[in-house]
Amino acid sequence: MVHIHWYPGHIAKAEKKLKELVNLVDVVIEVLDARIPESSVYPDIKKLLGEKPRLIVLNKADLADEENLKKWINHYQQKTGFPVIASCASKNNDISVIVNKVTELSKPKIDKLVAKGLLTRPARVIVVGMPNVGKSSIINKLIRKGKTKVGAKAGVTRQQQWVRVNPKIDLLDTPGIIPLKQEDQARAAKLAMVNSVSENAYENEEVAKALLEILAIKYPEKVKNYYNLEDEISVESISKSRNWIVRNSEPDIVRTSVMILKDFRDGRIGKFILDDFS
């Protein structure tokens, strides 16, 4: 069993800060890790965002099982009613899709302002997500598209840096980092597998073992091929196949666990999705 240690005090603070940021915007870009489309969702996202329009971005799609990802995209579109897209840092064409979807999502709000007799203005947007899912990569791509920084806005409580992506979109230049609260330990373990959890919060050996247990059920052939395994998929068998042995002919579990996690995170073993539809 994997144990992930959270820090409740930090979580309460992070939640408050995130709420403040979300209050400044019209549209939220929610970034999830495509390898764990369910486990990278913030459990309290509905409470946090209310009815605020949301674009769901399944990032790191280059590391995810493509066929399965399509199913997840449909699933989330139906479940949430919001647009859902896949993206990855190495491609630039997904940025125009993000820009178009965000413009569409903000239109009702902007139209409402105009209907009230107010001046039209660009939609205000923030990118939120769990640690390490790729928020900064997406922000940077959007900013490169826009380039012009606009000053801190008047009338907001905190001085924030906004960037004009185009005449219709202002982006908050700070990612909203979702606090790492996850009471469900199985989901928390998956967050650790994709490197979304600080390394101090878990043991590599436990997380690597749990990862192999999932892969052995969902993608056994890929793991066997990559590590040249005959039959059994385990940290021990991989350690032996690599000939990583310590004193007394014991498999080097520590070193092998670190390697397995790195191989998985770098996409070397294959493209995977670890979650199941719930």
Ligand X SMILES: Nc1nc2c(ncn2[C@@H]2O[C@H](COP(=O)(O)OP(=O)(O)OP(=O)(O)O)[C@@H](O)[C@H]2O)c(=O)[nH]1
Residues at the contact surface with Mg ion, assessed by CB under 5 A: 135-136
Give the separation between CA 196 and CA 193, rounded to whole angstroms. Answer: 8
Task: Tell me the closest approach of the beta carbon of residue 98 to Mg ion, in angstroms.
Answer: 17
Give the separation between CA 58 and CA 174, rounded to whole angstroms. Answer: 19
Give the separation between CA 85 and CA 96, rounded to whole angstroms. Answer: 12
Which residues from 85-104 bind ligand X, rule CB under 6 A? 88-89
Give the separation between CA 246 and CA 203, rounded to whole angstroms. Answer: 19
Task: Tell me the closest approach of the beta carbon of residue 179 to ligand X, in angstroms.
Answer: 11
Site string for ligand X, 43-82 (x = CB under 6 A): ----------------xx-xx-------------------
Q: How far is CA 67 from CA 33, 70, 222, in A?
A: 16, 5, 15
Task: Tell me the closest approach of the beta carbon of residue 143 to Mg ion, in angstroms.
Answer: 13
Which of Mg ion, ligand X, none interacts with 134 (beta carbon under 5 to 8 A by kind)?
A: ligand X
Q: Which helix (H) or strand (E) holds 259?
A: helix 253-265
Tell me if 33 sits within 8 A of 190, measured CB to CB: no
CA gyration radius for the chain? 21
Does residue 201 belong to the site contacting ligand X (CB under 6 A)? Answer: no
- Count residues near ligand X (CB under 6 A): 16
Site string for ligand X, 153-192 (x = CB under 6 A): ----------------------x-x---------------
Q: Which is nearer to Mg ion, 136 or 160 (CB)?
A: 136
Which of Mg ion, ligand X, none interacts with 131 (beta carbon under 5 to 8 A by kind)?
A: ligand X
Give the separation between CA 186 and CA 253, rounded to whole angstroms. Answer: 21
Task: Tell me the closest approach of the beta carbon of residue 122 to ligand X, in angstroms.
Answer: 23
Task: Tell me the closest approach of the beta carbon of residue 140 to Mg ion, in angstroms.
Answer: 9
Residue type, 256: T
Q: How far is CA 35 from CA 42, 142, 264, in A?
A: 15, 23, 11
Residue ranges in contact with ligand X by CB under 6 A? 59-60, 62-63, 88-89, 129, 131-137, 175, 177
